[in-house]
C-alpha cells in the first residue's frame, strides 16, 4: 500500500469509529463531534476509559497496535459496565464491531470512576503479560534486537555461537513493512512452523533518523536480498514463497564497499577505489589451504586447540593430501612449520576462470570468488549509463529493489543492444537508494555479495554492538563451552575484545546490597 492508500484507510477507520461510538461519547459527557476528529478522538477516548493519553501513541506503532486495538475495545465496553467474559470475547472476535451493538441497541450507563484493577487473578496475569509483550516488542523493533551468529562467515571476528545485541537506532530504526505479524518472531512461528505474518497490507518504507551512516568495514545485520522461504521450513517440497523485505532471513556480514565505491577482488583480497581494503585490527581474514603431509595426519581436536581450526579438515591417507577449509594467516605461519607438513599453500581460483555462481550470474564474465570486478556500488541520486553490458549488474535493482518491492512494475529487456525499460528505450538510470557490498571475513566459506550482489539500504536491519554470551559447541565440559573472554564484549574495535562481565557483576552485587540494607533500614 502507498502512503495515499494508507491515508484513505486511516480516514475510513475514523468514519467507522465515529459511527460506532458517538452515542457512547455523549453518555460519557462529551460531544458527539469529538468522536469524529482524528487523533483528538483517541485522546478523548483515553479520558473516557480512564487510561493515559500516551496510549494513543501505541495505536500508531506497527505490530504494537495489533495488541492495543483489542485492549481498547475491551476497555471501552467495560467503561459502560460490560465486564462479562462473553462481552470480552464478542468485542475481540467481532474486531470491535460489538461496540456498535452497545452503542445503538443497549441502554448502558457510563461508569466514571470504575476500578482499573482486574477482577480476577487470571485477568491480572493477562494484563501483565500483554504490556510486557508490548514493551518487549517496542524494544525489539525499534531499539535493540538479540541475534545469534549461525555461520562461520565472519570467523574469527564474530564466532559461531556468539549471542549479540543488534542496535536498531545507530543507522535509524526501520518501521516494519508487514502491518500484520506475530510479535517478536521472524518469518515463522516457533513450534508451529507456520508463516508468522500476512503478506498484505504492506507499510511503505520508512526509517527513523539514526546518528551515524554505515561506514566501510562496519559489521551489519541485514535482510538477505534474494531470500525466499521453502514452504516455511518444510525443506524438500519444492515450494517457494515470496517474502516481504522485513521477513527475509537475517544475515550478518562486513560492509567492504559503500555507496559510490568501485570494488574489485584480486587473489581473494578486496581492493576499493584502487586501494587495498584496510581491515580493522580485530578482523582476521581466513582462506582455504591445501597441502601434503609426510604420511602422518592430524587429530581434529589438536587442530582446534592449537590452531583454532573450526571450519573443517580433511586428510587423504592414500595421497597424503590435506585440506583446511578456513585458516588465518597467523595459523598458517605456525602450521607450515609443523613436522608433519611437507607443503601447504593457499587455495585460489585462477585469474580468468569462470564461475557461473558469481554475480551477476550470467556466465559471461571470467569472474570467480578470488578474482572479480571492478564493479560500481550504486549511490542514491547518481545516474549511470544503462547499456547492454551494464544492464546485468543493475537489472535486479531496477526491477525488484526499486521496482516490485516499491510497488512499481519495472521490466528491463534488450532490443539488440538497446536497453528497454517497460518497452521504452533508455540510455541511463538514476538510483533511488544507496547500496552496499557485504562480504564475510572467511573468504572461502561465505555466501555473500560475490554470489547475490548488492544489499539495498532498505534491507539494513542494524548494527551489532555487544556480545552478551558466547557458546563454543566444540569445547568439552559445560563451563568450558562458555567463552568467558567474549562474554560482555563490544563488537567494534581494533584491540583484543575486553570483557566487561566483572564490572557488570560488581554493579549487580552493589545493587543487591543497596536494596537489602534499604529494606532492613525501612523495617527497623
Rounded to 5 degrees, φ, ψ at 24 are: -65, -35
Does residue 275 belong to any structural domain of this protein?
no
Q: How far apart are CA 225 and CA 399, in angstroms?
A: 13
Domain end, chosen from 58, 81, 116, is at 116
The one catalytic residue in 195, 247, 248, 253 is 253
Same domain, 8 and 70: yes
Residue 373 lies in a domain: no
- CATH number of the domain that residue 219 is part of: 2.10.109.10
At 298 the pLDDT is: 87
- Report in angstroms the alpha-carbon separations of 131 from 71, 96, 134, 184: 10, 20, 5, 13
Same domain, 97 and 14: yes
Domain that holds residue 310: 286-346
Average pLDDT score over residue span 481-486: 89
pLDDT tens for each residue of 391-409: 999 999 999 999 988 888 9
Q: Given pLDDT bands bounded at 50, 70 and 90, which one contains residue 28?
A: very high
Q: Among the three residues 397, 432, 467, which one is the final residue of a domain in this structure?
A: 432
Q: Which has more confidence, 495 or 259?
A: 259
Q: Is the pLDDT of residue 386 over 90?
A: yes
Per mean pLDDT, which range of 62-71, 124-133, 421-430 is the poorest? 124-133
Same domain, 421 and 407: yes
Residue 240 falls within a domain, yes or no?
yes
Buried b (16+ CB within 10 A) or exposed e, 97-110: ebbebbbeeeebeb
Backbone angles phi, psi at 394, to 5 degrees: -120, 10
Confidence of residue 234 (pLDDT cuts 50, 70, 90): low
**159 is a domain residue:** yes
**Catalytic residue at 239?**
no
Using the predicted structure, report yes or no on whether residue 524 has a pLDDT greater than 70. Answer: no
Task: For residues 443 and 421, state if they share a domain.
Answer: no
Summarised one tens digit per residue, pLDDT across range 435-481 is 999 999 999 988 999 999 999 999 999 999 999 999 888 777 777 78
Whether 238 shows a pLDDT value over 70: the answer reads: no
**Residues 353, 355, 361, 364, Cα dihedral to 10°:** 30
Element (H, E) at 406: none
Within 402-448, strands assigned E span 412-415, 418-421, 424-425, 428-430, 435-439
> Residue 402 falls within a domain, yes or no?
yes
Q: Cα–chain-centroid distance for residue 201? A: 20
d(CA 378, CA 434): 6
| Annotated catalytic residue within 79, 153, 196, 449 | 153
Q: What is the mean pLDDT of residues 47-66?
A: 92
Q: Is residue 200 part of a domain?
A: yes
How wide is the angle at C-alpha 150 spanned by C-alphas 146 and 152, nearest 5°? 130
**What is the overall mean pLDDT for the chain?**
89
Q: Confidence class of residue 216 from pLDDT cuts 50, 70 and 90? A: very high
Is 364 considered catalytic here?
Answer: no
Same domain, 219 and 319: no
Instruction: Write down the pLDDT at residue 25.
Output: 95
Q: Give residue-wise pLDDT tens across range 118-158.
A: 776 777 787 888 888 899 999 999 999 999 888 888 888 88
pTM score: 0.88
**How many C-beta neighbours within 10 Å does residue 400 have?**
16
Confidence of residue 251 (pLDDT cuts 50, 70, 90): very high
226 and 162 housed in the same domain: yes
If one counts the domains in the chain, the total is 4
Same domain, 309 and 213: no
Residue 487 lies in a domain: yes
State the CATH number of the domain containing residue 293.
Answer: 3.30.70.80
Cell numbers representing residue 279 in the block: 581491515
Domain match, 77 and 28 both: yes
Task: Please list the helix, strand and coil fractions of the chain in percent, rounded to the nearest 5, in that order.
Answer: 30, 25, 45
Amino acid at each position: 500500500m502507498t502512503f495515499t492508500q494508507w491515508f484513505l484507510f486511516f480516514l475510513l477507520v475514523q468514519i467507522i469509529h465515529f459511527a460506532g461510538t458517538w452515542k457512547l461519547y455523549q453518555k460519557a459527557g462529551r460531544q458527539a463531534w469529538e468522536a469524529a476528529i482524528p487523533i483528538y478522538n483517541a485522546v478523548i477516548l483515553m479520558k473516557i476509559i480512564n487510561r493515559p493519553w500516551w496510549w494513543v501513541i501505541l495505536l500508531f506503532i506497527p505490530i504494537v497496535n495489533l495488541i492495543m486495538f483489542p485492549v481498547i475495545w475491551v476497555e471501552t465496553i467495560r467503561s459502560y459496565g460490560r465486564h462479562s467474559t462473553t462481552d470480552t470475547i464478542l468485542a475481540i472476535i467481532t474486531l470491535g464491531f460489538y461496540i456498535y451493538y452497545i452503542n445503538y441497541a443497549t441502554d448502558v450507563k457510563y461508569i466514571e470512576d470504575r476500578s482499573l484493577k482486574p477482577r480476577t487473578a487470571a485477568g491480572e496475569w493477562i494484563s501483565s503479560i500483554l504490556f510486557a509483550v508490548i514493551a518487549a516488542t517496542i524494544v525489539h523493533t525499534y531499539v535493540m534486537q538479540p541475534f545469534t551468529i549461525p555461520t562461520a562467515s565472519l570467523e574469527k571476528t564474530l564466532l559461531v555461537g556468539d549471542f549479540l545485541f543488534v542496535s536498531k537506532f545507530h543507522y535509524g530504526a526501520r518501521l516494519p513493512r508487514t502491518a500484520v505479524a506475530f510479535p517478536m518472531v521472524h518469518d515463522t512461528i516457533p513450534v508451529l512452523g507456520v508463516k508468522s505474518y500476512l503478506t498484505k497490507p504492506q507499510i511503505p518504507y520508512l526509517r527513523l533518523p539514526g546518528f551515524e551512516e554505515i561506514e566501510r568495514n562496519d559489521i551489519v545485520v541485514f535482510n538477505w536480498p534474494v531470500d525466499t522461504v521453502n514452504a516455511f521450513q518444510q525443506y524438500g517440497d519444492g515450494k517457494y514463497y515470496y517474502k516481504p523485505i522485513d521477513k527475509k532471513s537475517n544475515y550478518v556480514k562486513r560492509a567492504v564497499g559503500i555507496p559510490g565505491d568501485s570494488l574489485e577482488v584480486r587473489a581473494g583480497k578486496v581492493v576499493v577505489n584502487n586501494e587495498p581494503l584496510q581491515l580493522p585490527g580485530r578482523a582476521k581474514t581466513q582462506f582455504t589451504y591445501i597441502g601434503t603431509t609426510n604420511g602422518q595426519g592430524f587429530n581434529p581436536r589438536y587442530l582446534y586447540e592449537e590452531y583454532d581450526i573450526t571450519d573443517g579438515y580433511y586428510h587423504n591417507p592414500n595421497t597424503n593430501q590435506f585440506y583446511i577449509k578456513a585458516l588465518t594467516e597467523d595459523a598458517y605461519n605456525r602450521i607450515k612449520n609443523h613436522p608433519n607438513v611437507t607443503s601447504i599453500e593457499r587455495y585460489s581460483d585462477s585469474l580468468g576462470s569462470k564461475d557461473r555462481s558469481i554475480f551477476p550470474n550470467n556466465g559471461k564474465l571470467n569472474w570467480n570468488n578470488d578474482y572479480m570486478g571492478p564493479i560500481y556500488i550504486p549511490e542514491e541520486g547518481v545516474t549511470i549509463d544503462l547499456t547492454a553490458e551494464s544492464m546485468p549488474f543493475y537489472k535486479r535493482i531496477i526491477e525488484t529493489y526499486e521496482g516490485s518491492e516499491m510497488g512499481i512494475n519495472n521490466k528491463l529487456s534488450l532490443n539488440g543492444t538497446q536497453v528497454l525499460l517497460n518497452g521504452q528505450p533508455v540510455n541511463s538510470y538514476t538510483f533511488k537508494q544507496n547500496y552496499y557490498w557485504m562480504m564475510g571475513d572467511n573468504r572461502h566459506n561465505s555466501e555473500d555479495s560475490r554470489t547475490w550482489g548488492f544489499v539495498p539500504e532498505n534491507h539494513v536491519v542494524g548494527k551489532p554492538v555487544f556480545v552478551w554470551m558466547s557458546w563454543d559447541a566444540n569445547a568439552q565440559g559445560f563451563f568450558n563451552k562458555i567463552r568467558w573472554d567474549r562474554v560482555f564484549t563490544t563488537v567494534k574495535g581494533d584491540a583484543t575484545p575486553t570483557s566487561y562481565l566483572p564490572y557488570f557483576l560488581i554493579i549487580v552485587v552493589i545493587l543487591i546490597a543497596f536494596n537489602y540494607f534499604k529494606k532492613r533500614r525501612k523495617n527497623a
